[in-house]
């Protein structure tokens, strides 16, 4: 790998990229890609050679002081690894091998002397695919859209090979208010809403002040100790129907995020109820107010695609040894919501 001339200064890291490079918050994006056929490493390398240089972040490395991106020549062979698998030894348990491999992969940091990404090819059968490709990229390179742009460019033919395949972005629909409310009724509703807001604010302030003084959350597997970012991670996922989520959203007159938050809280409650003893747990909040904002023992990610919602869970294996149980609880919670609406004749 050699550095191109004239780029010694490089491009400064964005504030978000600096955050992801800070100690204790050094996290990567793990992407699993299932394929219908065995993966040929030479084909992957050839495609990457044609497209990686078009993506600035994937063809740049960190400067020595970690403050900027330096454009560099990428030796693709140093970023692609083919895992040697003894098929006779693993027999039909390919899925466990993939999960264990990814769990071990989280223990090894990326080499900062080259661009912060690599690809691991596992030609082993799982329940969903004939082979699995694991892409590990540092979160400071960008968000999921940046990664998707590279993957699309490497797997899709475009009329002009000198350009990067674009990622379609859906435009947000404008909210249309069909019902016109009389001004007097609007005034009454606004006044009552203001009174409720003031009252609820005082109640919440009182509870927030009282909880640290008189109450304390029970120590559960969800409360990991110090150094959780250095522990091995386990990953699992579930695929649920996006139509079910939309149906619940429409009936309950809420957003998809509201439904997912309800599913998550219900699943955590069901999961914790399986433990003996009475557990006291303060309700989750949408904004993290803790001093430690780094990697936590539990991370839940939602992705909607082609009429499906993929729920991915990453856990600290020392805190939550069986993440599959938590995945089951999330799937069961969604089914319970739909069943309740059916019983009440709302569907």
**How crowded is residue 39: how many other Cβ atoms within 10 Å of its Cβ?**
18
Question: Angle 198-201-202 (CA atoms, 0-180°, nearest 5)?
Answer: 90
Contact yes or no for 251/341 (Cβ under 8 A): yes
The whole-angstrom separation of Cα 327 and Cα 347 is 25
Q: Using CA atoms in the order 247, 250, 251, 253, what is the torsion angle rounded to 10 degrees?
A: 150
Contact yes or no for 57/117 (Cβ under 8 A): no
> To which residue do tokens 């904004």 refer?
287
> To which residue do tokens 């957003």 refer?
255
CA atoms lying within 13 Å on the CB side of residue 239: 6
Residue 139 is among the residues annotated as catalytic for this protein: yes
The whole-angstrom separation of Cα 117 and Cα 134 is 11
The whole-angstrom separation of Cα 273 and Cα 217 is 14
Helices (H), 5-108: 15-21, 41-51, 87-90, 94-105
Which member of 79, 139, 237, 301 is catalytic? 139
Host H or E run for residue 299: strand 298-305
Contact yes or no for 88/76 (Cβ under 8 A): no
The whole-angstrom separation of Cα 45 and Cα 337 is 46
The whole-angstrom separation of Cα 231 and Cα 24 is 12
The whole-angstrom separation of Cα 153 and Cα 48 is 9
Contact yes or no for 240/311 (Cβ under 8 A): yes
**How crowded is residue 57: how many other Cβ atoms within 10 Å of its Cβ?**
19
Q: Which residues are catalytic?
A: 139
């Amino acid at each position: 790998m050699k550095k191109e001339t004239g780029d010694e200064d490089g491009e400064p890291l964005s504030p978000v990229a600096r955050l992801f490079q800070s100690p204790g918050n050094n996290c990567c994006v793990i992407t699993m890609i299932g394929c219908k056929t065995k993966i040929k490493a030479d084909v992957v390398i050839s495609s990457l050679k044609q497209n990686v240089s078009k993506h600035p972040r994937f063809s740049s490395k960190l400067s020595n002081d970690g403050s900027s991106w330096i454009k560099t020549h990428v030796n693709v062979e140093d970023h692609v690894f083919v895992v040697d698998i003894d098929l006779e030894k693993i027999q039909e348990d390919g899925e466990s091998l993939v999960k264990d491999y990814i769990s071990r992969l989280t223990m090894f940091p990326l080499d900062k002397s080259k661009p912060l990404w690599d690809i691991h090819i596992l030609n082993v059968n799982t329940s969903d695919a004939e082979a699995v490709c694991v892409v590990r990229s540092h979160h400071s390179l960008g968000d999921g859209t940046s990664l998707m742009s590279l993957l699309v460019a490497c797997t899709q033919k475009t009329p002009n090979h000198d350009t990067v395949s674009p990622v379609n972005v859906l435009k947000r629909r404008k909210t249309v208010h069909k019902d016109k409310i009389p001004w007097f009724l609007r005034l009454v509703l606004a006044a009552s809403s203001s009174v409720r807001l003031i009252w609820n604010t005082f109640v919440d302030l009182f509870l927030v002040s009282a909880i640290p003084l008189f109450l304390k959350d029970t120590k559960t597997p969800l409360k990991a100790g110090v150094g959780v970012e250095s522990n091995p991670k386990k990953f699992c996922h579930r695929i649920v129907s996006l139509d079910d989520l939309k149906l619940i959203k429409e009936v309950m007159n809420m957003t998809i995020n509201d439904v997912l938050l309800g599913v998550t809280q219900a699943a955590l409650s069901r999961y914790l109820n399986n433990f003996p003893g009475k557990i006291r747990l303060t309700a989750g909040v949408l904004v993290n107010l803790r001093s430690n904002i780094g990697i936590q023992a539990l991370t839940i990610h939602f992705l909607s695609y082609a009429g499906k919602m993929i729920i991915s869970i990453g856990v600290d294996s020392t805190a939550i040894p069986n993440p599959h149980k938590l995945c089951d609880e999330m799937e069961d919670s969604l089914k319970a919501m739909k069943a309740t609406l059916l019983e009440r004749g709302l569907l």
